[in-house]
Amino acid sequence: MKKINNKKDRIITWIYFVILIFLVLFLFFNKYGLIKYLELKSEINSIESTIEKSKTEIDSLNENIKSLKNSDTELEKVAREKFLMKKENEKAFKFEDKKDSLR
């Protein structure tokens, strides 16, 4: 009787072991498994970081817009630097960097 019982125990143990292996494989390599979850979690963190950077940039741009609307000197500065505008009877000079002239 002992041998039969011992054989049954071994078979049941192997069956449990095989089931456990299938469950672990299913948990990790399933379409919705743990690996996929971790990848998606990482992607979410990356997107949230990008959103925060974008919000900071938007705030900075809104501050620039406010200063341009409220200050004529800021508006004139941007017009002169970015768009190379000048006042009447004024001469403008453009200086190039030495690095650019070597190329």
Give the separation between CA 65 and CA 34, rounded to whole angstroms: 46
pTM of the model: 0.56
Overall average pLDDT of the 42-65 stretch: 97
Residue 65 vs residue 29, higher pLDDT? 65
Whether residue 25 is predicted with pLDDT greater than 80 in this model: the reply is: yes
Three-class secondary structure of residue 84 per DSSP: coil
Which residue is associated with the tokens 């069956």?
Answer: 15
The b/e string for 22-60 (b: 16+ C-beta within 10 A; e otherwise) is eeeeeeeeeeeeeeeeeeeeeeeeeeeeeeeeeeeeeee
- The domain segmentation of the chain, as residue ranges, is 2-91
Whether residue 14 is predicted with pLDDT greater than 90 in this model: the reply is: yes
Assigned token pair, 97: 């960097």
Could you read off the pLDDT of 57-87 as tens digits, one per residue? 999 999 999 998 998 888 888 888 888 788 8
